Chain A
């Protein structure tokens, strides 16, 4: 084992091959994932852009039609309605969702005893599969179901929870809020628990009341988590699908036809792939803006 070439190799290896090996391994390790993304993430994305300029029904060959799809989705009453419903849904869902999560988090923060049990219980609906949860609520909303029975003293004829164009959206929102509040509450509560106790004690000594302590200490210190929760809630809301699909499928009279439902029905019921892709592009633009905000937050947290 003492022949010269081996000694030379041993002396050489550490410096040069350490760095090149590092580079080679780095590329090799990342390569499978990169190829996977190029093929099944980036390529479909580019195809979506292409299809959004085409008329395509899956059956016949796609045909280039320029901006027609985009003109259509910004002039067609049904699609415009979907934009309106989506805006209504986003505001109507995110605001109460975050407020309820915040109130629950602050209350639990002030009640150390049994906090864990409450946390777990509030988190319970989050754990439930959305389709299962939505189906359970479907039976509760059903005419002459449990909810109708609960309101029977005031509404003996029952309430058209999902069948009235006015009530349908609030009903679905109620289910979504019931389903997801626990998730946001946990994040906010974790933020509150990380606030150093001294701040609150100092405020108490200075004679600050409960509300003053919430308003001037907890809320300002909770700001990063609050911003974060709002953005995540927005992103999730824009993408909501399952509960709508199970509960109303966009109805009644398109009152709950949010953009994801619009994309789904247009693509797979009407086979209007081009128009569906065009709507996807708009949804994508909305999400990119929200995600860039989120990405910036990640970066802030990172540093």
Chain B
């Protein structure tokens, strides 16, 4: 620690300590990516090579066989289920979320503070604590093992943080436009739809990303809510294939990478905005 050269925005010469630090950072970087690379290599190997000891690094021969097997076992349906559930959750959350966030950011009405508290407080009730009663309620409603059931739960779970982020963003918008529109006789729904939402695209995009990822990655609730094979989300499919079928690691890695692909693609595409979107709820800068 003593050698940390804390010089800000000074790209000066390369000292001995600096080289060391770069080497350390390089090592951490390699450690961060290595398991992923290993998974990629494993997914391209034939079964005999996957379990070879000592482990063989490069696939020889390289084959897409494992990906074909994963598809045979139902990978595509699982991906469809997850996509459908996640996208539906995003749509519903954006609709109900911006609707609720707007009056909480702008309009003064009796009970608005209580409403705000009631909406934000559930952030403190994590899904795990509600696992047992949620299951029972869903069973009573006949929503176990259905798209509607999972979408409903994810929707309810993603609303508090989404409303919090959207409300924060709405408050930063200048109020003059709305006032002018209101004087011209525009109704509140019209103001929200034609003025606020178009201006809020960055916040809406951040919320959409956050909600999509949370729904896509969710595992516990999906695993207790789904029982039939055709309803499995991608995460459940991946886990159950390992325990039920006892698939080989090559196929497991192939499925895993395919399931991770949408998330990875979004990350590489958006990069910094992706990180900003994910930390939006915590930083609110």
Chain A residues engaging chain B, CB cutoff 8 angstroms: 13-14, 18, 21-23, 25-27, 29-30, 32-34, 36-37, 40-45, 47-48, 51, 58, 103-104, 106-114, 116-133, 135-137, 139-140, 144-146, 149, 152, 178, 182-183, 186-187, 190, 197, 200-201, 204, 210-211, 213-214, 218, 228, 232, 239, 241-242, 245-246, 260, 263-264, 267-268, 273, 276-277, 280-281, 283-284, 287-288, 291-292, 295, 298, 301
Question: What's the Cα separation between A183 and B79 when bound, in Å?
Answer: 26
- Residue B119 lies at the interface, judged by CB distance under 8 Å to chain A: yes
Q: Say whether B283 faces chain A, with CB atoms less than 8 Å apart.
A: yes
Give the contact-size bracket for chain B. 35 or more
Q: Can you sample 7 A-B contacts with CB below 8 Å?
A: A23-B110, A30-B99, A33-B163, A43-B137, A123-B275, A200-B7, A211-B1
Contact A121/B32 with A33-B96, A58-B136, A183-B278 known, Cβ cut-off 8 Å: yes
A111 and B132 contacting across the interface, CB-CB below 8 Å: no
Residues A40 and B156 in contact in the complex (CB < 8 Å), given A129-B263, A136-B38, A267-B132: yes
What CA separation (Å) do A46 and B255 show in the bound complex?
Answer: 39
Q: Are A200 and B6 in contact (CB under 8 A)?
A: yes
- Which residues of chain B in 233-285 are interfacial with respect to chain A, using CB atoms and an 8 Å cutoff? 235, 238-239, 242, 249, 252-253, 256-257, 259-260, 263-264, 267, 271-272, 274-275, 278-279, 282-285
Decide yes or no whether B25 CB sits under 8 A from chain A: yes
Q: A-contacting residues of B (Cβ < 8 Å)?
A: 1-11, 18, 21-22, 24-25, 28-29, 31-33, 35-36, 38-39, 42, 53-55, 96-97, 99-100, 102-104, 107-112, 115, 118-120, 122-126, 128-137, 139, 152-153, 155-156, 159, 163, 182-183, 185, 187-189, 192, 216-217, 219-220, 224, 235, 238-239, 242, 249, 252-253, 256-257, 259-260, 263-264, 267, 271-272, 274-275, 278-279, 282-285
Docked-complex contact B134 and A149, CB < 8 angstroms:
no
Task: Given A44-B130, A131-B219, A200-B8, decide whether A228 and B282 contact each other with a Cβ distance below 8 A.
Answer: yes
Q: Assuming A22-B107, A22-B108, A33-B119, is B217 touching A129 (CB within 8 A)?
A: yes
Q: Residues of B contacting A128 with CB < 8 Å?
A: 36, 260, 263-264
A201 to B10, CA, bound (A): 11
Query: In the assembly, what is the distance between CA of A228 and CA of B8, in Å?
Result: 24
Inter-chain contacts of A242 with B (CB < 8 A): 219-220
